Amino acid sequence: MTAPLDFDRIDPVYRAWADDYLRLSGFDPSAFLAVAQPAEDEMFFKALLPNFEGDRGIGAFKFVEATMRHYEALRQIVDQSFGGFNEVGSLLDFASGYGRLTRALLQRMPAERIWVSDIYAEAIDWQVRNFGVNGFASVPDPAALAHDGKHDVIFVGSLFSHLPADLFRAWLARLHGMLTPGGVLAFSVHDQSILPSAEAMDESGIRFFPWSESGSLDPAIYGMTYVTEAFVAEAIGDVGPEASPSWRVFHKGLYENQALYVVGGSDRDLSDLSVASPPMGGFERATLLTDGSVEFSGWAIERTPGQTLALAVHVDDRPVRMAEAMDDRPDVQPMFPASPMPPFAWRFRLGRADADTDSAIRLTLRSTSGLETHAFARMPSDPALTYSGWSRRSLPPL
């Protein structure tokens, strides 16, 4: 039987990196990681963890990093729409799973103002019991959802990227109907740019495949979905009898390739809303040079149109230099179809005077949008070592 993910029992190197990432993002790591993630969390143990060969240290770090991406998108929406989480009366994380976003929200607003819902009723019971938030179970048919509350913010991280056309429209209308007049609904989709190359978009603007990473949900209602902006715009226009609500779309606004849509309640104007995407990047290689120094190299990408990146190198939390940006990386480009800017290579050198054996190396990717991402590695302990690829001490691309 799968054991829960106990953050206190993972490789201490990865735990230190996860703590560092949370601290740099303004969170208390000990509070964020105090509760183990349960073995029943299908999205972690069956979707995320297998990507890293079952390594719980890497998986735990990616759990933190993905949560920060969710949170950063939501923070921008809340800050611009309400002036901060303190001004939000009620926030609903719909299709919340086992509450990774809840861990962040609890450090920004009282538990009594946080609501969670998921089709896995046991996941909601677990969150209510462990986090003290409000919760209600979701159902396959939106018309049968037993919830009459209204919320200022409804966040749907990755549900519409899995729904067939009829449920896409029905859930959009149902959730929009749960907004306060000045509320905002944010949800993500797979846009047509990442539709598998061997497949063609349906003329209706939505393509649904009856399979997903879930091993328990009915594939007829939870599969893999790709949509055009025109399809989503039409669905938004049909949410209610009133005039079409104000809405914005931010391509690549969530994760690497999910578009983020934000739809306003009847009294909410979103024309000035702007949501940036965190930059991404990672370490690839560390090479011992003839003078005894070590050259680190990897790639990075700015994901917000019109912005640029600076790459700051830290050793044991101490700033030491900037990394050098180099040529474009067309081999990395397929990971980011239709990205506004191309990925590029970077490199920097550290001498033994800069870093001790096993020193923690952090590369901070600073975007002119104001967002940051962090990649981590260690100074090689073997002075003759040359390593490349995704070593266990240097994370996969973030």
Residue of higher predicted confidence among 201 and 380:
201
Where in the chain is CATH 3.40.50.150? Answer: 8-264
Q: Is residue 75's pLDDT more than 80?
A: yes
The closest alpha carbon to 16, from 346, 299, 377, 379, belongs to 377
Q: Is residue 25's pLDDT more than 50?
A: yes
∠ CA 81-339-172, rounded to 5°: 45
Tens of pLDDT, residue by residue over 330-378, are 999 999 888 889 999 999 999 988 998 889 999 999 999 999 999 999 9
* Confidence band for 217, pLDDT divided at 50, 70 and 90: confident
Tens of pLDDT, residue by residue over 146-182, are 999 999 999 999 899 999 999 999 999 999 999 999 9
Where in the chain is CATH 2.60.40.10? Answer: 280-388
What values do phi and psi take at 123, rounded to 5?
Answer: -70, -40
pLDDT in the model for residue 385: 46
pLDDT in the model for residue 256: 74
Decide: helix, strand or coil at residue 270.
coil
The closest alpha carbon to 156, from 267, 243, 73, belongs to 73
CATH number attached to the domain at 8-264: 3.40.50.150
Segment 261-283 shows an average pLDDT of 96
Q: Output Rg (C-alpha) for the chain, integer angstroms.
A: 22
What is the average pLDDT value for the chain, to the nearest integer? 92
| Residue 330 to residues 3, 347, 354, Cα–Cα distance (Å) | 40, 17, 32
Tens of pLDDT, residue by residue over 243-268, are 689 999 999 898 777 999 999 999 99
pLDDT in the model for residue 393: 37
Instruction: Give the whole-angstrom CA distance, residue 337 versus residue 53.
Output: 25
Q: DSSP letter at 37?
A: B
Tens of pLDDT, residue by residue over 78-117, are 999 999 999 999 999 999 999 999 999 999 999 999 999 9
Instruction: Give the whole-angstrom CA distance, residue 52 versus residue 392.
Output: 10
What is the number of residues in the chain?
Answer: 398
pLDDT in the model for residue 392: 37
Tens of pLDDT, residue by residue over 299-340, are 999 999 999 999 999 999 999 999 999 999 999 999 988 888
pLDDT in the model for residue 382: 62
pLDDT in the model for residue 178: 97
CATH number attached to the domain at 280-388: 2.60.40.10
Instruction: Give the whole-angstrom CA distance, residue 246 versus residue 269.
Output: 6
Half-sphere exposure in the Cβ direction for 214 (13 Å, CA): 18
